[in-house]
Amino acid sequence: MTVVIGFEGSANKIGIGIIRDGEVLSNPRRTYITPPGQGFMPSDTARHHRAVILTVLKEALEQAGLKPADIDCVAYTKGPGMGAPLVTVALVARTVAQLWGKPLLGVNHCIGHIEMGRLITKANNPTVLYVSGGNTQVIAYSERRYRIFGETIDIAVGNCLDRFARVIKISNDPSPGYNIEQMAKKGSQYVELPYTVKGMDVSFSGILSYIEEAANKMLSSGQCTAEDLCFSLQETVFSMLVEITERAMAHCGSQEVLIVGGVGCNLRLQEMMGVMCQERGAKLFATDERFCIDNGAMIAQAGWEMFRSGQVTELEDSWITQRYRTDEVEVTWRD
């Protein structure tokens, strides 16, 4: 029996989760939400995390009904992500690991998402679309690495959506992406936007500039509504994601797709991906907001896999890093 506690706080969510042999015992989380029109800055986010992290840690232990002695390993997000929030979380993880006398494990955030997706959906060997505010990658497993087949060459799709939400000043509660999704359902006019797939990769910064300008012009002249723009943006960027996912599937001969990351909560994205999968006779896997959105249990799960295959992080090597490629990690727990 192996029990792992996982600490996650690379963006504006701070979550701590406990997993015992594939069972999620607890997974409390808090989100730092900024006023409409504002994004979250590193030092403010870190301050938010510092204020709540010990409370969330207590909740994680209490909800799991465990004492520190019951934990076998302390996992935390080594990267990628925002520097100050990552440090905040790593400090607590390192301290409790020493206080409790437990080994420490630095986990790659992207791999946390993948391993949680695999655990929850039981997908066998899927092509993974990882889409969030900070990352956009198409990943497939091959020979002990999660290989990046395609990715954004500039900003993440979630970043594009979040920054557009700021332009039209919609609420960031519970998340800007969720509110864009709700507004898109009420859109009726399709506004043509640039479509930028570059081979296996995608680009979103041009679409963002275009729609920011379009919003200013078209909304004030009444040519379209904010709902129409939300609808058009989703249709465009999600089509691009479906295209590069399909391209990777064709390369790998894969019959499974797994969507992970916060943007994976979006039901329209799931719907569009589902249509493509059906056309190819493939199966689509996705998780709900408990596990799509950044959470501690996903770090615990990746940590569980790593720990059981013999990995450990020494304290001197436990520094956090803002840049950490998914394919840098040796996937020792798979063949």
The vertex-162 CA angle with 225 and 273, nearest 5°, equals 85
Q: Is 12 annotated as a binding residue?
A: no
Tell me if 186 contacts another protein by CB under 8 A: no
For the chain, the straight-line distance linking the first and the last C-alpha, in angstroms and rounded, comes to 22
219: helix, coil or strand?
helix
Q: Which of 33, 66, 87, 252 lies at the binding interface for another protein (CB under 8 A)?
A: 87
From the CB of 332, what's the least distance to another protein, in Å?
Answer: 22
Among residues 95 and 182, whose Cβ is nearest to another protein?
95
Tell me if 96 contacts another protein by CB under 8 A: yes
Closest CA to 108 of 214, 248, 231, 10: 10
Tell me if 88 contacts another protein by CB under 8 A: yes
19: helix, coil or strand?
strand
Tell me if 95 contacts another protein by CB under 8 A: yes
Tell me if 317 contacts another protein by CB under 8 A: yes
Tell me if 312 contacts another protein by CB under 8 A: no
Q: Which of 143, 192, 279, 316 lies at the binding interface for another protein (CB under 8 A)?
A: 316
Q: Is 39 annotated as a binding residue?
A: no
To 10 degrees, what angle do helices 176-184 and 226-252 make? Answer: 100
Give strand pairing partners of 105: 75
Q: DSSP for 85-115? A: HHHHHHHHHHHHHHHHT--EEEEEHHHHHHH
Tell me if 50 contacts another protein by CB under 8 A: yes
Q: Tokens 């009444």 — which residue?
A: 222
Q: Is 132 annotated as a binding residue?
A: yes
Q: Which of 54, 250, 275, 312 lies at the binding interface for another protein (CB under 8 A)?
A: 54
Tell me if 323 contacts another protein by CB under 8 A: no
The vertex-275 CA angle with 126 and 249, nearest 5°, equals 30
Residues within the annotated binding site for a divalent metal cation? 109, 113, 130, 294
* Residues of this chain that bind another protein (CB under 8 A): 46-47, 50, 53-54, 57-58, 68-69, 83-84, 87-88, 90-92, 94-96, 98-101, 315-320
